[in-house]
Amino acid sequence: MDDACCSVFNALGDKTRLAILAMLKKRECCVSEICQPFDMSQPSISHHLDILKRAGLVQSEKRGREVYYRFNGDAIVECCGKQFKALDLILMKK
């Protein structure tokens, strides 16, 4: 398994990060918006966002003083595709 896929799977292994991705799947948000539904400090949320960003699962764009984050589902598709191929698995519709 390559390092990029390990980062993706590691990032997906946390319920807070999964909740952040679900939020960002609906729309892009800045850190202060992402913090609202969580009982966590902004530095803790920023740490989770950094892990997601390093894994390629989110992209960011600075606008003025705020950084906006958006979901990048292509990283999951690419990683899972590599793993399916490596394990000789075929995804079939039922």
pLDDT digits (tens, 9 = 90+) for 54-74: 999 999 999 999 999 999 988
- CATH number for the domain whose boundaries are 3-86: 1.10.10.10
- pLDDT score at 83: 72
- Structure pTM? 0.84
Mean pLDDT, the chain, rounded, equals: 88
Dmax (CA) for the chain in angstroms is: 48
Element (H, E) at 58: strand 58-63
- pLDDT score at 78: 82
Domain boundaries, the chain: 3-86
- pLDDT score at 59: 96
